[in-house]
Amino acid sequence: MDEILAVKNLNMGFNTGIGFRKALFDVSFSVKKGQMHALVGESGCGKSMSAMSILNLLPKNAEIKSGCILFNHKNILSLKENEMREIRGSKIALIPQDPMTSLNPLYTIGNQLIEVIELHQNLKGNYAKEKAIEALKKVQIPSAEERFNQYPHEFSGGMKQRAIIAMALACNAEFIIADEPTTALDVTIQAQIMKLLSDIKKDFGTSILLITHDLALVSQYADEISVMYSGRIVENAPTKEFFENTNHPYSIALLKSLPENKNKKLSAIKGQPPSIMEDISGCRFHNRCKFCIPTQCVTKIPDLKFIAKNHSSACFLN
């Protein structure tokens, strides 16, 4: 299956008062056309920075040192800002973490949809309005014609998230980055939003990069998974293969920390993920890993290598 996105050996960091500090280390993963790929890891591991690198929306003090990001086989890191603006929204859309702060409270939902449609679809007037209402219907917002004229404060959290997804659909985006799209929502609405994203993937062939820390969601909806720890990809695999043959010690520890039933004691991962201000030699997980081999893990960086078909892991135990 053809890839719509391929991130290859991406190295990114921040220029700070004490020098350059790396945040992403040789990050490599790919998303196939028409599939949902999950990027998983603890908070602060670099998931959102990877997404912002794809969109070229990094903070001013951030710098990509090396690597490439191929979107439809074109390296978007080499594009000028005006070329990148043509891709954002129209070809690559972002569903941000917090729908509550992603919409302008001073404008109606309809006005905000029309603004995006006019910018990226070159439609005006009634044509743009029809496209906007059609998008609201696609994301299953009831009474779309009435909701079109309402303001964000009149929408619930789940409805706001649907409105943002409608913007992506209205512009016919080929690729959606969903950055923790269910974090601010209650459990029932979470399921509805994930079902909606899954339906969009199936009905329109849209490719989705799902950024999350929720492995339960991943097991239900994702086709493939990449596990990230402290700025590095430590495991890549199709979802079924990942859950049946989990390989990397960090991935194993993540799965053991899931609440399987109310009578089973949770297994916590000891210690804390390292800060980007810390200089760590060897495998960045070695100080939390019960399988650590001091002669290797503390001094050498394990390569991400294939251990089975389409399944790669970065661990000296392989």
Between 279 and 219, the higher pLDDT residue: 219
Report whether pLDDT(299) > 90. Answer: yes
Nearest by Cα to 238 from 31, 54, 92: 31
* pLDDT band with cut points at 50, 70 and 90 for residue 264: low
What is the structure's pLDDT at 266? Answer: 67
Grade residue 237 by pLDDT with cuts at 50, 70 and 90.
very high
Instruction: List, in order of start, the domains of the chain with CATH numbers.
Output: 3-91+174-313 (3.40.50.300), 106-172 (no CATH)
Residue 66 has pLDDT above 60, yes or no: yes
- Report yes or no: 296 and 290 within 8 Å, Cβ to Cβ: no
pLDDT one-digit tens code per residue, 158-167: 889 899 989 8
- Give the lowest-confidence range in 53-62, 175-184, 195-204: 175-184
Q: Tell me: pLDDT of 262 over 60.
A: no
> Which bin fits 180, alpha (ψ -120 to 50), beta or left (φ > 0)?
left
Contacts with 140 (C-beta within 8 Å, 6 or more apart), sequence order: 162, 196
User: Taking the complete model, does pTM exceed 0.85, yes or no?
Assistant: yes
- Strand 36-40 to 207-212 pairing: parallel
**pLDDT over threshold 60, residue 276:** yes
pLDDT at 261 over 50: no
* pLDDT of res. 55: 92
Dihedral-angle region of residue 125 (phi above 0 means left; psi in -120 to 50 means alpha; beta otherwise): left
Strands (E) in the chain, as ranges, are: 3-16, 19-32, 36-40, 62-71, 74-75, 92-95, 175-179, 207-212, 224-229, 232-238, 305-308, 311-313
Q: What is the mean pLDDT of residues 179-191?
A: 82
33-49 per-position pLDDT tens digit: 999 999 999 888 899 99
Identify which of 95, 108, 100, 20 has the alpha carbon closest to the alpha carbon of residue 55.
Answer: 95
**Which one is predicted more confidently, 264 or 201?**
201
- pLDDT score at 90: 83
Confidence of residue 304 (pLDDT cuts 50, 70, 90): very high
Cβ density class 289-306: b for 16+ within 10 Å, e for less: beebbeebbeeebbebee
- Mean of the per-residue pLDDT values for the chain? 89
User: 3-state DSSP call for residue 218?
Assistant: helix
Question: Has residue 25 got a pLDDT over 80?
Answer: yes
Cα separation of 127 and 145, whole Å?
Answer: 14
What digits encode the pLDDT tens for the residues 123-157? 888 899 999 999 999 898 999 999 999 999 999 88
Would you state the structure tokens that stand for residue 234, as one six-digit string? 């430590």
